[in-house]
Amino acid sequence: MRYVKGHLILRLQSRISNELLERIRTDFADICTKGTIEQTEAQPAEANEPTLKAMPRLKFRFRRTNQGRLRQLIDVVNGG
C-alpha cells in the first residue's frame, strides 16, 4: 500500500473479478473523496519497486478519515 499522486494504491496478489470490483465500488464508495475504485497496473511513479511491478492494484482517492472502512475493504478483497 502506498500513495501515488493523491491516490491510495493497494497492491494485490491477484486480479479480482469484475463482479467483486463492482461490489467494492458500490459498497465502499463512501471512502473515495472523488471518482471511483479502479483496478490497475503499476503506476510510473512506482518504477523504483521493480519486484512489485507485476502485482495488480486497486487505485482510488482515499478519504483518510475512514481507516476502519479501509480495513473492511481489505477484508473483502482477501475474502474474509
Residue-range definition of the domain harbouring residue 15 = 2-77
pLDDT of residue 80: 57
Number of folded domains that form the chain: 1
Q: Is 19 exposed, middle or buried (0-12, 13-18, 19+ CB in 10 A)?
A: exposed
For residue 37, give the nearest of 76, 13, 51 by alpha carbon.
Answer: 76
Question: pLDDT for 29-49, tens place per residue?
Answer: 999 999 999 999 999 999 999
For the chain, list residues with pLDDT below 50: none
